Structure 1
Amino acid sequence: MKERESIGSRLGFILLSAGCAIGIGNVWRFPYMVGENGGGLFVLVYVLFLLILGVPIMTMEYAIGRSSRLSVLSAFKKLEPKGSKWHIYGYFAIAGNYILLMFYSVVSGWILRYFVLALMGAFQGQSPEKIEELYGTMMSSPRILIFFMGVTMLITVFITSMGLEKGVEKITKIMMIMLIIIMIGLGIYSLMLPGSIEGVKFYLMPNMENVRKVGIGNVLYGALNQSFFTLSLGMGGMEIFGSYIKKDRSLVGEAMLVAGLDTFVAIVAGLITIPACFAYGVAPDKGPSLIFITLPNVFASMRGGRIIGSLFFLFMYFAALSTMVGVFENDVSFSIDLLGYDRKRAAAFAGLVITLGSIPCALGFNLWSDFQPLKAGNCIMDLEDFFVSNLVLPIGSLICCLFCTSKYGWGFDNYIEEVNSGVGIKMSLALKWYFKLVLPVILVFLTVFGLWSYFA
């Protein structure tokens, strides 16, 4: 049997894990949620939930991966008690990883397209109507969407096929370091704009009026939801990186470092976007309209806007591409472990499946826009996102939690032994009751309430 590849350095492991977790949602969703849900109060509650929910589940994925040295389906088959069926979850995790990239590749293509537009100066001197038209033109064109999705997939396949250490780890380290440098530079620039201080106050100062307006229950649920989904837990995304590392360090500290870096990027992203919006008197809208309509208007009227806009979309693309590479590594590992492919063949196979599978998502915004699954106004991407975000991630995390704490699964003693192997922060045995009773209840609540709120 061929020896399993391993990550070359601790920094590589931290940046790879963080790169997989840090995505487009962090960059445009987190800042808006902070501003609308009480500012600094939301951040404090978010960090608390990250520590009591996100970090424990992450250590479980790492522990399963490191103990088995396999990808998620094969890992559950190896660690589960003989005759049990825990591994069935692995098939849903595989589907989740593939379907996630079938819409994430399309959204990443949007950002690559806007990086090219910003670099060419397409926003400079344009009216708000013209900038909105650029967005509409992109979304209505199957050719544009499929082309930039295809370029993103080619880059992802190329990086992954180069090898774990020489390709995935090396390129992700470069991207993440450049991402952080560009973010810090843009953040400092944004804070120096006239009037930006009002944006900082809106973003980070505790605002009890907003809390009362939104409702304390909604603020708490928003922070809980964000703390969970920000780390991409529940479908083996972190498990695979655990399978590539040695036992020289305990897993609690590693998980806390990854969660901390993920939070840092999310907060700094808000310090780039929200103060700039306030400085130029535009509303910090949420979702695609902030990234693709509001901010290009800011860059159009900003001195040096062409350079700033290009750097912004480059940073956004690095965030998207690091997630693409991180999740795609999972898809490659499935083919290596289950089908016996070598890395290059596994990357080509997964790349072809995802590229072809991404075409319906791209067509869902134009030629197939009449197909509205689940509820009115939905598109194919909404259906795919629902499957991943509302089913695979929360249910997968629940199964992972039960597997690591139940005597009918891998068991708490095996989990604790693995998670505490090596030097560093240890997981206390006194938390056994919390892991066995409280964590599953929180995850059931997230699943049920998330489904109810989606359709309500």
Structure 2
Amino acid sequence: MTSVEHNNSTASGESRDSWKSKYGFIIACIGSAVGMGNIWLFPSRVANYGGAFLAAYLLFDVLIGFSGVVGEMAFGRKARSGPLGAFSKAGASIGYGKVGRMLGVIPMIGAFMMAIGYSVVVSWIFKYTFYAVTGRVLHLGDAAMEIAEENGDSAVAAGISGFASEFGHTASAFGNSYWLVIAIAVTLVIMVLGIASGVEKANKLMIPVFYALFISLVFYVAAQPGSAAGYRHMFTIDPEKIRDPMMWVYALGQSFFSLSLAGNGTIIYGSYLSDDVDVVASAWKVALFDTLAAMLAALVIVPAMAAAGETAFSGGPGLMFIYLPHLFAAMPGGPIVVIVFFVAVLLAGMSSLVNLFEVPIAAVQDHLGRSRVLSVALVGVIGAIISICIQGIVSDWMDFVSIYICPLGAGLAGVMFAWVWGKDAVVDAVSLGRERRVGSWFYPLYKYLFCILSLAVFLLGAVNGGIG
């Protein structure tokens, strides 16, 4: 009789999809991890804390990568399901399957809410990518600069004001609905093709191109006068920064969210994974390339800002849609640079959005017995309607999900797998596909350290209004 954890059929009786290759799984997980946090938050924190932040971030990356990422991959594969099924099966092991399923709703809803908010962000990127290709993005500040020249005001401040005005309109209520529909439509086309033919193939194209584009930007920025100051700032460790507790808090938050831990995305991708894949080896590769993506973004943005006279700056949408376009517009070859930048950012955003939508889509498909096409359509229509309605409050929406639901979902996943399903289930699941069983180091690292870090992210985020 086939064991429940190896049942690859959905509730409708359809054969459950899977990855075509180990490489496809790893690159899709990298795609889910590489997102806006790498591009608009990591560089600003490196700029503000220098090498101290890099050291702290790498430490947390190792700890979380070898605990939480490994655990969620193995949890999903053992359950052959997303968070709903995984939590249910873990709960069933002690006679509380219904309770487990109820708890699994939290990370599933969290993924859907994050997908809804992230769709709005990706729609901004679609618009600015189009503006970059047409050349319009370089002229967003022109009108304000002409007025500044007439009034004798600062052209730099006026140019930034022009970019800010355009972005303010874009991010307003119902201000970008056309591009939002396009962003969701493109995402759903990828999703409807399934895991192997859609998600895997899309990531195999998007992620290598993303890295190639950002590497080209690294070399370009390195050639700009004044960029060397940015490199010195990045890699200098200031003892005062090491002693700053908020630097450690931000490094923890950056690593936690950058590795896409929320009890959903990594679990669902792991659920499509074959038994011959070593999840420990896969996890460290995902952590490595996610860190590389963040470093590439920092190696572009920090030296570029330093060349403009800024060695400390704020992150977030303002950095990407206001300050960087204004900066690139003044650089030699600005039209090409801004195209490369926004195309690369678009690829990063799309790869993460695909992962977020897969969680609710798989839940409808696996547990409500709907076909892949109908599941994508149902989730897509609901997601599109809500996304259009929340455009003016998307920042608050994303803050709520990232501060409360994501770390709660990750912590619950750790509790359900390590504490509820238990040591034997965890060690067996992680050892599957390895030449030797996982060492005795893993279980306590996952059961105690990862769950404590998830709780810390939840509490610190609530107190500080978000840390990642």
Structure 1 residue 268: deviation in Å?
0.4
**Which structure 2 residues correspond to residues 127-206 of structure 1 after superposition, within 5 A?**
127=145, 128=159, 129-140=161-172, 142=174, 144-206=175-237
Query: Distance in 2 between the 1:132 and 1:288 partners?
Result: 10
Corresponding position of 1:27: 39
Structure 1 residue 395: deviation in Å?
1.5
**Which structure 2 residues correspond to residues 3-402 of structure 1 after superposition, within 5 A?**
3-37=15-49, 39-80=50-91, 81-84=93-96, 85-124=99-138, 126=142, 127=145, 128=159, 129-140=161-172, 142=174, 144-209=175-240, 211=241, 215-282=243-310, 284-362=313-391, 364=392, 380-402=393-415
Query: Distance in 2 between the 1:270 and 1:411 partners?
Result: 40
Query: Distance in 2 between the 1:413 and 1:195 partners?
Result: 56
Query: Distance in 1 between the 2:328 and 2:442 partners?
Result: 50
Query: Distance in 2 between the 1:312 and 1:220 partners?
Result: 29
TM-score (norm 2): 0.88
Structure 1 residue 327: deviation in Å?
1.2
Q: Can you list the C-alpha shifts for 1:95-143, whole angstroms capped at 9, x where unaligned?
A: 111111111111111111111112121244633133333223323462x
Query: Distance in 1 between the 2:226 and 2:359 partners?
Result: 44
Query: Distance in 2 between the 1:173 and 1:242 partners?
Result: 17
Structure 1 residue 360: deviation in Å?
2.3
- Judge conservation of contact 1:296–1:309 (CA < 8 Å) in 2: yes
Q: Can you list the C-alpha shifts for 1:414-433, whole angstroms capped at 9, x where unaligned?
A: 11111111136853224444
Structure 1 residue 404: deviation in Å?
2.3
Query: Distance in 1 between the 2:444 and 2:31 partners?
Result: 32
Query: Distance in 1 between the 2:276 and 2:171 partners?
Result: 48
Taking a change above 3 Å as real, the CA distance of residues 75 and 53 of structure 1, as seen in their structure-2 partners, is same
Query: Distance in 2 between the 1:90 and 1:333 partners?
Result: 13
- Judge conservation of contact 1:250–1:426 (CA < 8 Å) in 2: no
Question: Counterpart of 1:400 in structure 2: which amino acid?
Answer: A
- Judge conservation of contact 1:253–1:425 (CA < 8 Å) in 2: no
- Judge conservation of contact 2:51–2:234 (CA < 8 Å) in 1: yes
SS in 2 for 1:18: helix
Query: Distance in 2 between the 1:165 and 1:276 partners?
Result: 38
- Judge conservation of contact 1:252–1:425 (CA < 8 Å) in 2: no
1:451 aligns with 2:462: yes
SS in 1 for 2:390: helix
Indicate which of 419, 422, 433 corresponds to 1:411.
422
- Judge conservation of contact 2:84–2:105 (CA < 8 Å) in 1: yes
Please report the RMSD computed on the Cα atoms of aligned residues, expressed in angstroms.
Answer: 2.0
Taking a change above 3 Å as real, the CA distance of residues 31 and 205 of structure 1, as seen in their structure-2 partners, is same
Give the 4+ runs in structure 1 shifted more than 6 A: none
Structure 1 residue 361: deviation in Å?
1.6
Q: Can you list the C-alpha shifts for 1:196-245, whole angstroms capped at 9, x where unaligned?
A: 11111122322335x17xx5211111111111111221231001111111
SS in 2 for 1:286: coil
Say how many residue pairs are matched. 433
- Judge conservation of contact 2:71–2:446 (CA < 8 Å) in 1: no
Query: Distance in 1 between the 2:274 and 2:199 partners?
Result: 18
Question: Counterpart of 1:261 in structure 2: which amino acid?
Answer: F
Structure 1 residue 399: deviation in Å?
1.5
